[in-house]
Amino acid sequence: MVLAQSMVLAQSIPPRFQGTWVENLKNCALPMDDTRLVLSDGWVDFHESRGKITAVTVDDELNLRVTAELAGEGETWKDTFHFRLSENHQKLTSIHEDGISFTRHRCP
């Protein structure tokens, strides 16, 4: 009998997903990069917005869903993100509801 793996609600982002992520590793040292994403314990930071994480769901070892209350450019909103980590934990792909994906690399 095979049991389906269930989603696990977590209190924070697991360490394997935390870090600074950019599209091009050459941009890790730059103070500004439009593709920069920082996942930390309790926060998600994008280029022009930042948000406190309100919910974390770990689908499996490599898939994570994060809900955050974001603020940026004078506005606030709530959004949910699906992130898929590569097997070697060096790439993080954002997967959008419309099927579009975007891959970033872990900064050293």
Distance separating alpha carbons of residues 91 and 96, to the nearest angstrom: 16
Residue in the block written with tokens 């490599």: 62
The mean predicted confidence, pLDDT, of the chain is 90
Q: State the CATH architecture for 8-106.
A: Beta Barrel (2.40)
pLDDT at 6 (0 to 100): 47
The whole-model pTM stands at 0.86
35 DSSP 8-state letter: T
Distance separating alpha carbons of residues 64 and 46, to the nearest angstrom: 17
pLDDT per position as a tens digit, 21-69? 999 999 999 988 999 999 998 999 998 999 999 999 999 999 999 999 9
Q: Can you give the length of the chain in residues?
A: 108
Say which amino acid occupies 103. Answer: T
Residue in the block written with tokens 């997903």: 17
DSSP lists the bridge partners of residue 65 as 57, 82
> Domain-by-domain residue ranges, the chain?
8-106
